[in-house]
A and B are shown apart, each in its own frame.
Chain A
Amino acid sequence: EVQLVESGGGLVQPGGSLRLSCAASGFTVSNYYMSWVRQAPGKGLEWVSMFYSTTSTYYADSVRGRFTISRDNSINTLYLQMNSLRADDTAVYYCARGRFGFDFWGPGTLVTVSS
């Protein structure tokens, strides 16, 4: 059974950093494109970043230069390092599998940026 479980969210002050993790089971992350998608409270979905290989990473303009996506194949886990966090980064962050439609999603982890 395919499962994705995010962790690492929490309350952080503006300018701070967090690292989100997405542990995958039931499939091998290195064989798939993997993304982070976020949803601010009461708002719609916003794609954040996608990873396929170290030379094939993509970012939304809103996070480029502040967020870094990576993967550890040995533990089948996707990461999102988030630096210089701002209030408008407050959202539930989901990891999702796929390139041609996101076919599996994790339950999400909440990131709150506030002083």
Chain B
Amino acid sequence: EIVLTQSPGTLSLSPGERATLSCRASQSVSYNYLAWYQQKPGHTPRLFIYDASSRATGIPDRFSGSGSGADFTLTISRLEPEDSAVYYCQQYNTSPWTFGQGTKVEIK
């Protein structure tokens, strides 16, 4: 099983700042089969990034994904108040499909 470890646990930043979220895998994720989801309290998760760097439909370009192998990053270039949420990474290279434990982004 591929274990995904996300850091930091919580990120507290001001509007307009840059947020960098990390997702590290216990082994290489082939084909960059990694996704990022946003989940707001009481809401369903929403796909933001797939294949490590491709934005899903309707996702603003201030969100970008990067990385390969076992190290991946989600960057929010200029935080907006509505970006407050928990962000999860997920690998879909190997069963069982696994999620990271999440990073909570708080807007000051």
Q: Which A residues fall within an 8 A CB radius of B?
A: 35, 37, 44-47, 50, 58-61, 94, 98-103, 105-108
Contacts and interface: CB of A to CB of B under 8 A. Distances in A.
B47 A103 contact: yes
Interface in B1-59: 1, 33, 35, 37, 39, 44-47, 49-51, 56-57
A94 B90 contact: no
A45 B99 contact: yes
Contacts of B44: 94, 105-108
A27 B35 CA distance: 22
Contacts of B45: 37, 45, 94, 102, 105
Contacts of B37: 45, 102
Interface in B66-108: 86, 88, 90, 92, 95-102
Given A50-B95, A99-B92, A105-B44, A44 B33 contact: no
B99 A101 contact: no
Nearest to B34: A101
B83 to A, nearest CB: 19
Nearest to A103: B47
Given A50-B97, A102-B90, A108-B44, 6 more contacts: A45-B90, A47-B90, A99-B92, A100-B92, A101-B47, A103-B47
Contact of A61 (B33, B56, B96, B101): B96
